[in-house]
Structure 1
Amino acid sequence: MATRLGLGLPQNKQYDIGRDVPDVARTAEAMGYDSLWVYERALFPETTTQGLYGVEGLPWPDSYRGVAEPLVTLALAATATRRVRLGTSVLVAPLHGPFQLAKALASLDAASGGRVVAGLGTGWSLDEYAAAGVRPFEERGRVMDEIIDVCRAVWGPDPVTYEGSLTTISSAVVAPKPARPIPILLAATNKRAQRRLVEKADGWIPVALGAEVLARQWRVLQDLAAEQGRVEPLQTVLRTNAVYSAKPYSGQDRGPFQGSVDQIVEDLVAHAEVGLEEILIDLQGSVRDAEELKDVAAQVYTSVRAAGI
Structure 2
Amino acid sequence: MATRLGLSLPQTHQYDIGRDVPDVARAAEEIGYESLWVFERALFPEPATQGLYGMPGVPWPPAYRGLAEPLVTLTLAASATRRARLGTSVLVAPLHGPFQLARALGTLDAASGGRVVAGLGTGWSLDEYAAAGVAPFEERGQVLDEVLDVCRAVWGPDPVHYEGRLTKIASAVVAPKPARPIPVLLPAFSKKSLSRLIERGDGWMPVAMGAEQLAAQWQGVRDLAAERGRTEPLESVARINLRYTAKSYDGADRAPFQGNIDQIVTDLAAHAEVGLDEYFLDFGDAPRDAGELKDLAAEVYSAARAAGV
CA deviation map 1:251-286 (0-9, x unaligned): 111111111011111111111111100001011321
What stretches of structure 1 of length at least 5 have no aligned partner? none
Q: CA RMSD in A?
A: 0.8
> In the alignment, what sits opposite 1:249?
249
Partner in structure 2 of residue 163 of structure 1: 163
Displacement after TM superposition at 1:48 (Å):
2.8
| Aligned-partner Cα distance in 1 for 2:49–2:188 | 25
Q: How many residues align?
A: 309
- Which 4+ stretches in 1 moved above 3 angstroms? none
Deviations 1:186-220 (A, max 9, x none): 01131100100100010011111211111111111
Partners of 2:94 and 2:179 in 1: CA distance: 25
Partners of 2:245 and 2:291 lie apart in 1 by 15
Give the corresponding residue for 1:14.
14
Whole-angstrom CA distance in 2 between matches of 1:134 and 1:235 = 30
Residue pair 1:9, 1:37 contacting (<8 A) in 2 also: yes
Residue equivalent to 1:130: 130
2: distance between equivalents of 1:128 and 1:210? 30
Task: Tell me which amino acid in the other structure corresponds to 1:212.
Answer: E
Q: Secondary structure of 1:89's match?
A: strand
CA deviation map 1:115-142 (0-9, x unaligned): 0000011001111111114111111000
- SS of 2:268's equivalent? helix
Aligned partner of residue 140 in structure 1, secondary structure: helix
Q: Secondary structure at 1:36's aligned position in 2?
A: strand
The whole-number CA distance in structure 1 between the counterparts of 2:116 and 2:306 is 28
Matched residue, 2:187: 187
Query: Match of 2:33?
Result: 33
In structure 2, the gaps of 5 or more residues are none
Check whether the contact 2:35–2:84 (CA below 8 A) recurs between aligned residues.
Answer: yes
Give 2:298's aligned amino acid. A
Residue 243 of structure 1: CA displacement?
1.3
- Matches of 1:15 and 1:49 in 2, distance apart? 27
Greater Cα offset, 69-78 or 206-215: 206-215
- State the TM-score, normalizing by the size of structure 1: 0.99
Alignment of 1:1-309 (within 5 A): 1-309=1-309
Name the aligned partner's letter for residue 17 of structure 1.
Answer: I
Residues 159 and 172, structure 1, Cα contact 8 Å, conserved in 2? yes
The aligned amino acid for 1:114 is: G
Cα pair 2:63 2:284 within 8 Å, conserved: no
Q: Letter of the 1:110 partner, please give it.
A: A
TM-score by length of 2: 0.99
Letter of the 2:302 partner, please give it.
T
Instruction: Tell me if the contact between 1:49 and 1:56 (Cα under 8 Å) persists in the aligned partners.
Output: no
Distance 1:86 1:226 in 2: 29
Identity of aligned residues (%): 73
